[in-house]
Structures are given as structure tokens and as C-alpha cells.
Amino acid sequence: MPELRRDPVVGRWVIIDSDHTKGPLDFSKDDNTPTHQSICPFCPGREHQTPHEVDAVRPLKSLPDTPGWLVRTVPNKFPVLISDGSLQKEGIGIYDQMSGIGAHEVLIEGPEHEKNLTELTKEEMLAVINQYQNRFRYLSKDSRFKYVMIFKNFGFSAGATLEHTHSQIIALPMVPKTVLEELKGAEHYHQFRGRCVFCDMISQEYQDKERIIAENTSFLAFCPYAPRYAFETWIIPKGHSADFAQMDTATQVHLAQILQDMLRKIKQVLGNPSYNYYLHTAPVGYDHTACYHWHIEIIPKLTRSVGFEWGTGLHIVPTFPQDAARFLRES
Amino acid sequence: MSQLRKDPIVGRWTIIATERARRPAAFVDPLSTTTDQKHCPYCQDIASPGVYESQGVKVINSSSPILDESKPFELRGHGLYDVCHSYGVHEIVLETPTHTANMADLPPEQINAVMQTYALRMQTHRKNPFVEYILAYKNYGVAAGSRNIGHARSQIMTVPVLPMRVLDKISGSKKYFDYHERCLFCDMVTQELKSMERVVTQNEDFVVITPFASRFPFETWILPKGHHCDFVEGIKGHEDSLAAIMKDLLLRFKMGLNDPAYNYMIQTSPVKKASSYKDDYHWHIEVMPRLTRVAGFERGTGFYICPIPPEMSASFLREVEIHA
């Protein structure tokens, strides 16, 4: 029997299409086998092909824009938002407009072209997480920016244009809608119950057990009760924390471990699919920290959204989250 | 310098990339949908009985429905979570008895019959007390989510809850009306007809625009010039001009963008408490060619990057020569 399920944070309904459920191998996927590209601008030795680096992890203290780095962050050569200038706001009749001020950076996650995140060593993965937080903290200081979004597109149909493993960071002059909706839902819940909705979600996931994939000292990985996509997976700190920037060094190790673990499971169970992940955290300077709880959402790109979903925002999901969780747990 | 633009209805921001804007021709879809008449199940369905049939349009129940009306509707709680079984109907509208793939190639009378069929089916489904929303929509082409079959058809679904995007639009237009005591969409029509830079085409009853804060290249909306919240009542007396403008627009896509995949969705007011939407909501149709991929950033933020300014999309579509 198909089910309609409601997300407790933003109130979004989704349809779980149980009559045509799909297992991990029932989706058509991109071929994400790496091909060595001799012209890749992210490979060591071609540092001059990117804009000047803004940060890097260089264990042997090599010079900026030279080889010898573990992780390297550069401004996007084709930025969607530009960091020079002041924010101009304008009204045109009923419409609102702002100048495209922001930052758009590329975080190259490792020097080796064929290696993706699942193949990094523990230390390399930790360097990526560490760099995420460094860039996040740095960009949060700019008073023009209201939100810093860290995300990754892996594979063609997830929107990646370059194969070499990388994430992106975009700093925005406003809080984006999806995050606003989560904040609004979480604040509303907190007003009513005096508790964090995400903390309550974690306790219910422990009670129900069936949607849990894995956990470690600091994090829980599970498939949400009302997912928008098949095999959608969340990684959430077990203890209450609104702000990603506050995470301490010990916790970074745990995040590196569970994120890599989830990506490996997704790769194994779904046959190296394209995927996106992104970090949802409190906006810069947000002070209702008791209400919100930062987390990472991982979305394997397995289905296309159809007119119905565009028209209603009602997603149709062909895999029950408890089944997806079981496949991932048992891999 | 790229721009950030806010959709006045739902408050969603879009980045309009002017700096690295791609030329309209860069989006022309090289893959058109394939047609396989011999194996078309819909050509066979034309012969079998459906739930409704008139003027060469036939409505059948989906052979693989994702909604089911056979069990009574019941909402339950599961701790923190809400759940109900997926109550509703899922119908396929076969738009023509002939094996034609694209609605753009149907005669206007046939498109008219399809639109009237939507209205009649909506009228029937409204009588069910559990139905909160009815969506009539089309997926054309593989990239738009259709299976690779070349027979023009669209779909109707009824759902027992108010979907999030519908709620967004309704609450956005309500807020505007409360403040201005005017309909947001009527104001939009006025402003667009004054500036003309985002107008693709128009006739006496409808105008097609590329919205100010477009999410996708060549995203277009068909807006009725006259105010009505409801598709069923709103099209009365305007069926011919709706069919004409729909064909006009779809031909512009087909000719200008090389037969791209597209979706359209009829956006009408919710079924219940209809009188409360009378003044502030305004039915319309969103028509979107599917030319780009949605990436992590868009999914994570609900914040779209449109690689071409809507003014450029509009002028490109305006200049497409359509010969039916």
C-alpha cells in the first residue's frame, strides 16, 4: 500500500510508492568510472590554471599554487556570484532584485585524479572536513553574507562538470528558502514543545531502529521517515548543535569517518551512482540556537523529477526508507 | 554582474547568471524523443473502454497508479511523524487517437478538447470529500520524466493533502492581497504587459511570460489576463484562446529548441474552501523545457541558478518562426 508521509520539520508531504518499489539495482545510473584526463585543471602541476588558491593543506609547507597539497581551495573560475562590490538592493514594480554578491569557491579534495572521497585515507578525509570548517568560518566573517552553503555534486546527472574530486562552497547574501523553511518549522516546534525537533527525531529513530544505518560516538546516519528521494540519507550530530562552525577537532574525526562510511555504502549498494550532498546549518549570526540542529543530507541521484513533483512539490519516492536503510546497513 | 531575483509569489530567490550567460542556442536539445508506433500501448488503449471519452480525447486509469482510492482515507500519527495511505486517483489523458508524440503538433481543436477534459475530470473529482488538490500535468520526453513512448498524453492526480508548493503559492499571494488589496498575478500581468521585455506571446485572453525570477532557462508561464482563481471556471468562454496560445508556445519550443523535453503543470486553487481563494489566487500554467540538470546547490537551498536571463529567453522565443 503506497503511503503519504509528512516531514515533521518543514511539513512537506511525500508519496512512498510501495506498489512499484525499487531495490538498489533497479535504477539506471551514470557510469562514474574515472577516465584519466590529461587536461584536468585540478591535477597537481596545473595550479596556474585555476585562480590563486585561498587556502590549502600543505603538510610539507610547499608554496601556494604549487604541488604538494592534500586539499586545495580556489575561487571558482566561473563564479555564479562575485565577491567584489557592495550589496545593492532594488525594487522594480512588484519585483525585488539584488546585485549578485557572494563567494563561490571550489574545494579540491585530493591531488589524485582517479581517487574519489571513498578512496581517501582517514587523514585525507579529515583534511577535507577540516578545510570545510575553515572556509565556513572564514566566509561567515564577511558581514555581507547571511549563509554559507557547502555542497558536493558527484557524477554527471548530479550536476558535476569536472571529474576530479571536489566540493563547492557558495556564500549567499540571504538565507535560502529550503533552510528558511527548516528554521521556521523547527522554531514553530520549539515554541510549542520547548524541544528541538531534530533531537526528538533522533530519539524516535532510536526507538524505531529500522531506519538507522550506522552510528559512531558523535553522529547518527539514517534514512529520514519522509524522504524526497530514494536512498536519501542524513548524517546528524547526536548531541544538540545548531552551528557547524562550533564542531571541535575530535568530532571532526567522527564526521570524516561516518561521511566516508556512508559514501562507501552508497557506492557499494547502488553501484557507484551520482550523488549530491550538502550541509544544512544555522545561518550566520542566528540566535535561536536551541531550535536548530545542523546535519548533512546525502542524495543519490537515481530518479528524475516529473511534472507532478515540479507542480506540487510532492515527491514520489520508489523505495521505503526502512528498506533503503536495511540495504545500506547490511552492506 | 549576475543578479539575484526574488519570486514575488513564493519568495524564492534565483541567481540570474548574466556574466557567464550561455547563448540561447547552447540549450537546444540534441536528443528528441523517439517514436515507436508498433509497440505503443496507448494506441491499443484507444480501443478499450476508459473512464471518460469525448472529441478524440480519452481518459484511462493509470496501469501503474501511485495513488489508490479503494481504501478509505485515514490520517495516522507515528510518534513525531504523520502518515496516511496514498489515497487518490491517477488518470492518463490520451490526447489524440493518432500516434502523435507532441501536443505542439495537434490541431488547436484537439488541444481545446484536452483542456476541456481536464476541467471536466476536475469537476468530477472535486465531489470526493477527501480530495484537497487536483493536478493536471504533462511530462513530455525522457528528461521530463516520461517513459520513451511517442503518444501524446498527460496525467491527472488527486491528493488528500495540500502539497507544499501549492501552499507556498497560495500563502504568498494571500500575503500580497492582504497588504495591497489587489491580486499579485493581476499586478504581474499589468507590469509585464507594460514592460513587454519578458512577454513571449499573447492573445486577447492570455499572455505568456518568462518569469522575472525564472528557475530554468526558457521557463514560461501562461497567465490569464482576466482574474479567476480556478481553472475549471476560469477557462469557460476562453477555451479557444487557451488552446491557441498553448499551441503557439509549444511550437516555439519545438522549432526554437529542437523538440526539447518539457513539463507543464496547471496551477489552480485548492478544492476546499474555494471561496477563500477567490480574490487572491489566479490560476495559471507553468511550462518548462527540461534543458539543465538540477545540482546539489539547488537541491540543498531551493535556490536556483538560471544560466540565462529571462529577458533573453523571451526575446529568443519571441523571434522563433512558427509554421504549423
CATH number at residue B212: 3.30.428.10
* Owner of C-alpha cell 555534486: A153
pLDDT at B141 over 50: yes
CB contact under 8 A, B1 and A82: yes
A214 contacts A221 by C-beta, under 8 angstroms: yes
Cβ neighbour number for residue B126 with a 10 Å cutoff = 16
- Select from A20, A96, A313 the Cβ nearest to the Cβ of B6: A96
Q: Is B267 left (phi over 0), alpha (psi -120 to 50) or beta?
A: beta
Mutate to test the interface with A, among B7, B16, B176, B303 (most CBs of A within 10 A): B303
B249: containing domain: 3-319
- Measured in degrees and rounded to the nearest 5, phi and psi for residue A280 equal -110, 120
Query: Of A104, A166, A254, A280, which one is the catalytic site residue?
Result: A166
Dist. CA A17–CA A3, nearest whole Å: 7
pLDDT at A250 over 60: yes
- Measured in degrees and rounded to the nearest 5, phi and psi for residue B68 equal -145, 125
Residue B102 in any domain: the answer is yes
Dist. CA B27–CA B289, nearest whole Å: 10
- B137 contacts in chain A (CB < 8 Å): 306-308, 310-311
First-to-last alpha carbon distance for chain A, in angstroms, is: 27
- B15 contacts in chain A (CB < 8 Å): 80-81, 100
SS3 of chain B: helix, strand, coil, percent, to 5: 30, 25, 45
Most confident of A318-322, B6-10, B153-157: B153-157
- Which residue is closest to A81 within chain B, CA to CA? B2
pLDDT tens-digit map of B43-73: 877 767 789 999 999 999 987 777 777 777 7
Residue A126 one-letter amino acid = L
A147: containing domain: 3-330
Provide the H-helix boundaries in chain B.
41-45, 108-126, 164-180, 184-195, 231-234, 239-256, 296-301, 310-319
- Select from A13, A78, A159 the Cβ nearest to the Cβ of B296: A159
Q: What is the pLDDT of chain A when averaged over all its residues? A: 89
Confidence of residue B31 (pLDDT cuts 50, 70, 90): very low
User: What is the average per-residue pLDDT within A212-233?
Assistant: 94
Provide the Cα torsion A9, B72, B265, B190; round to 10°: -80
Q: CB neighbours of A200 closer than 8 A, spacing ≥ 6?
A: A8, A189, A193, B80
* Owner of C-alpha cell 538560471: B306
Dist. CA B32–CA B258, nearest whole Å: 7
- Which residue is closest to A14 within chain B, CA to CA? B163
CB contact under 8 A, B144 and A306: yes
Residue A205 one-letter amino acid = E
* Owner of C-alpha cell 557507484: A272
Provide the H-helix boundaries in B181-261.
184-195, 231-234, 239-256
* Owner of C-alpha cell 558535476: A160
| Bridge partners, residue A95, by sequence | A92
pLDDT at B23 over 60: no
Strand stretches in B118-175, DSSP E: 133-140, 153-159
What is the domain count for chain A? 1
- Residue B104 burial (CB < 10 Å; 0-12/13-18/19+)? buried
Residue B306's pLDDT is what? 81
Q: Does A23 contact B at CB distance below 8 Å? A: no
The alpha-carbon gap from B43 to the nearest alpha carbon of chain A, in Å, equals 23
Most confident of A173-187, A298-312, B162-176, B227-241: B227-241
Alpha-carbon Rg for chain B in angstroms: 20
DSSP A295-316: EEEEEE--S---HHHHHH--EE
Q: Is the whole model's pTM more than 0.90, yes or no?
A: no
User: What is the average per-residue pLDDT within B280-284?
Assistant: 95
More confident residue, A92 or A298: A298
User: What is the average per-residue pLDDT within A233-249?
Assistant: 97
More confident residue, A197 or B215: A197
Q: ∠ CA B280-B212-B314 to the nearest 5 degrees?
A: 120
Residue B232 in any domain: the answer is yes
Provide the H-helix boundaries in chain A.
122-140, 177-193, 197-208, 249-270, 307-312, 321-330
Residue B324 in any domain: the answer is no
pLDDT tens-digit map of B92-135: 999 999 888 899 999 999 999 999 999 999 999 999 998 999 99
CB contact under 8 A, A310 and B263: yes
Mutate to test the interface with B, among A175, A204, A306, A315 (most CBs of B within 10 A): A306
Touching B: A residues 157-186, CB under 8 Å: 157-160, 168, 170, 172-174, 176-179, 181
Confidence of residue B12 (pLDDT cuts 50, 70, 90): low
Q: Please state whether beta strands A219-222 and A233-237 pair in parallel, antiparallel, or not at all (unpaired).
A: antiparallel
B240 contacts B204 by C-beta, under 8 angstroms: no
Residue B28's pLDDT is what? 56
User: What is the average per-residue pLDDT within B289-297?
Assistant: 73
Touching A: B residues 81-120, CB under 8 Å: 81-87
A291 contacts A195 by C-beta, under 8 angstroms: no
More confident residue, B27 or A258: A258
Exposure letters A267-304 (e unless 16+ CB within 10 A, then b): bebbebbbbbbbbbbbbbebeeeebbbbbbbbbbbbbb
pLDDT at B18 over 60: no
Taking each helix axis as running N to C, give the angle between helix B184-195 and helix B164-180, from 0 to 180 degrees, rounded to the nearest 10: 80
Mutate to test the interface with B, among A27, A77, A78, A96 (most CBs of B within 10 A): A96
User: What is the average per-residue pLDDT within B274-292?
Assistant: 90
Residue A138's pLDDT is what? 97
A265 contacts A257 by C-beta, under 8 angstroms: no
pLDDT at B25 over 60: no
Alpha-carbon Rg for chain A in angstroms: 20
CB contact under 8 A, A5 and B187: no
Set of cell numbers at residue B299: 537541491
Cβ neighbour number for residue A192 with a 10 Å cutoff = 9
Touching A: B residues 114-143, CB under 8 Å: 133, 135, 137-139, 142-143
Touching B: A residues 266-305, CB under 8 Å: 276-280, 297, 299, 304-305
A101 contacts A173 by C-beta, under 8 angstroms: yes
Set of cell numbers at residue B175: 500575503
pLDDT tens-digit map of A52-75: 999 999 999 999 999 999 999 999
Q: What is the pLDDT of chain B when averaged over all its residues? A: 85
Residue A264's pLDDT is what? 97
pLDDT at B34 over 60: no
Exposure letters A29-49 (e unless 16+ CB within 10 A, then b): beebeeeeeeeebbbbeebee
- Measured in degrees and rounded to the nearest 5, phi and psi for residue A161 equal -110, -20
CB contact under 8 A, B165 and A312: yes
DSSP single-letter state for residue B87 = B
Set of cell numbers at residue A122: 582517514
- Select from A94, A172, A306 the Cβ nearest to the Cβ of B191: A94
pLDDT tens-digit map of A173-191: 888 888 888 999 999 999 9
pLDDT tens-digit map of B224-260: 999 999 999 999 999 999 999 999 999 999 999 888 8
Residue B21 in any domain: the answer is yes
- Select from B8, B87, B305 the Cβ nearest to the Cβ of A80: B305
Residue B30's pLDDT is what? 47
What is the domain count for chain B? 1
Q: Is A231 left (phi over 0), alpha (psi -120 to 50) or beta?
A: left
Confidence of residue A306 (pLDDT cuts 50, 70, 90): low
- Select from A158, A201, A310 the Cβ nearest to the Cβ of B296: A158
% of chain A exceeding 70 in pLDDT:
93
- Select from B5, B8, B83 the Cβ nearest to the Cβ of A3: B83
Dist. CA B2–CA B11, nearest whole Å: 19
CB contact under 8 A, A80 and B299: no
CATH number at residue A268: 3.30.428.10
CB contact under 8 A, B2 and A80: yes
- Measured in degrees and rounded to the nearest 5, phi and psi for residue A316 equal -110, 120
More confident residue, B30 or A125: A125
Confidence of residue A1 (pLDDT cuts 50, 70, 90): low
Q: ∠ CA B191-B195-B197 to the nearest 5 degrees?
A: 120
Residue A58's pLDDT is what? 94
pLDDT tens-digit map of A73-105: 999 988 888 888 888 888 888 888 888 888 999
Confidence of residue B161 (pLDDT cuts 50, 70, 90): confident
Touching B: A residues 83-122, CB under 8 Å: 85, 92-100
- Measured in degrees and rounded to the nearest 5, phi and psi for residue A226 equal -120, 70
Tell me, what's the ipTM? 0.82
User: What is the average per-residue pLDDT within A116-135?
Assistant: 96
Is A293 an active-site residue?
Answer: no
User: What is the average per-residue pLDDT within A96-118?
Assistant: 91
